[in-house]
Amino acid sequence: MPVKTGIVLFAHGSSVESANEAVRSVAAKVAVEGGFELMEAAFLELGKPDLPGAIDRLAARQVERVLVVPYFLTLGMHLKRDLPRIVEGCAARHPGLSIDVTEPLDGHSALRRIILDRVEKAL
């Protein structure tokens, strides 16, 4: 039987609420397109919920595993320092819950295609 997995799209967060809503919209669209029933958006700062809050929501729905997908372009200090600390705290709060983190977006071939598309449209 497959492991019940929740997914969190984890972004930086902004004081501009429309930017946070854009992240929530991406998470909702990914959930529909991927057929993921258990998906949350979460923010490092300035947006709600934060990552612990999103993981709490998923844990309340009896997930066994959480997959955190950083919605960050590069592996900067937030992902190298802050994210592991937050995940460690969440794991301590939810013993038995497996929490894994994917790679950031940097290096994915789709990003190069997006940049080329933007440049071509502007030219």
* Cβ–Cβ under 8 Å, residues 40 and 51: no
What pLDDT digit, counting tens, does each position of 30-85 carry? Answer: 999 999 999 999 999 999 999 999 999 999 999 999 999 999 887 778 888 899 99
Total residues found in the chain within this entry: 123
Q: Name the one residue in this structure whose structure tokens are 């997930």.
A: 63
pTM: 0.91
Helical pair 83-93 and 51-60, crossing angle rounded to 10 deg: 30
Residues 62, 86: Cα–Cα separation, whole Å: 20
User: Which residue has 């492991």 as its token pair?
Assistant: 3
Q: How many separate helices (H) and strands (E) can be counted in the chain?
A: 5, 4
Mean pLDDT of 12-35: 95
* Average pLDDT in the chain: 93
Kindly report the CATH class assigned to 5-122.
alpha beta
Count the neighbouring beta carbons within 10 Å of the beta carbon of residue 108. 12
Q: How far apart (Å, rounded) are the C-alpha atoms in residues 32 and 34?
A: 6
8 - beta bridge partners? 40, 68
